[in-house]
A and B are shown apart, each in its own frame.
Chain A
Amino acid sequence: MSGLFAALFSVFAWIGSIIDPLCGPIGVFRWFGSGTLLACGDAGWGDEIAYGFLVTASLAIATLPVGLVAGFFIALAKQSNERQLRLAANIYTTIFRGLPELLTLFIVYYGLQILVQQFLATIGYEGPVEINAFVAGMIALGLVFSAYCSEVLLSAFKAIPHGQYEAGDALGFHRGKTMRLIILPQLVRIALPGLGNLWMALLKDTALVSVVGLPDILRQTGVAARVTKHAFEFFGIACILFLILAMISSVVFSALERWTKRAEMSR
């Protein structure tokens, strides 16, 4: 079984190396960067930066579902009938929308380290503990994203008329089924522009995780800048790569928006 997974993994890695937009056979750096600082392989920094690009993109993509699901449930909690639940959810959003993302990251990174250390100490393991920067970044960005996401989803929930829920009741649907079949499709349509903005913010916030040592775009270009003393060029490339990510996501989001609106009347 593990052999199958290994084979699958190597196939995916091979496909990834072929369609790699930066350092693959048809990559930008491979074609235009050879002989310069951006050459792939040992000669230049192309492959390191390509790896950073991958890390940034995967951090954002890995955070998105976590934040979305958490934000959805927090939005549900905020419109619950129970006062305690509403209060608890409001405290959550107040804290994580008010704290700087960098501070949240540090609190999660060092706090997690202390917690894990204490936990391991009670078991009996006394040794240095290193928290994975990717995981810490995912948790911190997920906390911030879910706080903002709950606000966006809450306002989208408020835009759905009460009659829609009653229609679900009239059809004899269970609450979960009403949510899944009636409310969610409309919710996505209303919340998509707001979620698009949040995704852009998330993409930009991933750059902060480089501070705790994640080898993302900014860290890799920073290392290259320090070694080669061509700081302006490398940080300029970092900016361009982030711009490319933003452009790709705006294309994807406008396509998504068109797709969710396909059932609406075209005028």
Chain B
Amino acid sequence: MSIAETMIPPQAPPPAPPRPYTLSRFIGSVTLGVWLALTVGIFLTVVNGWDPEKFSRYGPSFMSGLGVTLMLVISSIVMGAILSLPVAMGRMSKNKIWSWLSYAYVYFFRGTPLITQLFLVYYGLGSFRPQLEAMGLWWFFRDAWNCALFTFTLNTAAYQAEILRGAIQSVPRGQHEGAAALGLSQRVAFFKIILPQAMIVALRPYGNEIILMIKGSAIVAIVTVFDLMGETRRAFSRTFDYQMYVWAAILYLMMVELLRNIWALLEARLTRHLKR
């Protein structure tokens, strides 16, 4: 038996094999270069075309447009959430008439473009002015903002009803049976057992729906509501300055990215008990 007298001295690891310069790295560098050039180009046009007078004139209107967009999205999402409850219940009910009615509602609002629905309400209901005046509803539908809110609420209610139904139906049957075995009443079982589990499933689709609404809300600019998009169009039509669209794009991107990150944090927090 021999004992090693001297240890092998520690040696440096062999040099990493040279990474071949692949086509995909070339394409990646080029595309990244294009993005960089675009960013620099936009930055330079903004700096070169910087006009304090323009900024002081259109800056506040952009902010007010942002406020209108956020107001519209938040209120339609909240009202749509309330309206989606009976629709989702109808979709799940065993009553043929209710389930068929809510199916038709959801199919109509998910199958047609939001802009068509908005035109149908804003221009279409305008042709029923005498009837609406007789019912005392004309003051509501006369205003483009109200029409937009009405349409968006109906639209998002259809989408949210589908989200809610999918989430509730994704809760396994065993949970219902478990609640029944514990002697809980239907109502308590729904609110304390089914709904919390369903809401976790529904969290991500709800986030997507809010993002879709933020993006979809841009179309109200066409029916003369001065949201962020409307203010942008107005500023562009007065100045013919392409930067206006760049600013709007940056603001929209910031809104969406902010919401997406908040939602990711929220989801990580709410599902921490499911992590292994």
Contacts and interface: CB of A to CB of B under 8 A. Distances in A.
Given A84-B32, A85-B31, A231-B123, A99 B249 contact: yes
Contact of A100 (B27, B31, B218): B218
Given A207-B116, A231-B126, A232-B128, A98 B25 contact: no
Contacts of A91: 35
B216 A100 contact: yes
Interface stretch (A6-14, A18-26, A134-142, A238-246): A238-246
Nearest to A104: B249
Interface string A71-99: 00000010011111111110100110111
A260 B158 CA distance: 30
Given A82-B25, A88-B28, A110-B242, A103 B113 contact: no
Contacts of B229: 100, 102-103
A193 to B, nearest CB: 14
Main secondary structure of the interface of A (DSSP, over half): helix
B119 interface: yes
B119 A222 contact: yes
A205 interface: yes
Interface string B107-119: 1100111111101
Contacts of B218: 100-103
B215 A232 contact: no
A101 B115 CA distance: 12
B105 interface: no
B24 A88 contact: no
A218 B112 contact: no
A243 B229 CA distance: 27
A17 to B, nearest CB: 27
Given A84-B25, A205-B113, A236 B31 contact: no
Nearest to B120: A235
Interface residues of A, number: 49
Interface stretch (B82-90, B186-194, B250-258, B266-274): B250-258
A77 B111 CA distance: 33
B219 A231 contact: no
B124 interface: yes
A106 B88 CA distance: 36
23 contacts: A81-B24, A82-B22, A84-B25, A84-B28, A84-B32, A85-B28, A86-B28, A88-B34, A98-B253, A100-B218, A103-B245, A106-B245, A110-B236, A111-B245, A206-B113, A232-B120, A232-B123, A235-B123, A238-B112, A238-B116, A242-B111, A242-B116, A243-B111
Interface of B: 22, 24-25, 27-29, 31-32, 34-35, 107-108, 111-117, 119-120, 123-128, 211, 214-219, 221-222, 229, 232-233, 236, 242, 245, 248-249, 252-253, 256-257
Interface of A: 77, 80-89, 91, 94-95, 97-103, 106-107, 110-111, 114, 200, 204-208, 210-211, 218, 222, 225, 229-232, 235-236, 238-239, 242-243, 246-247
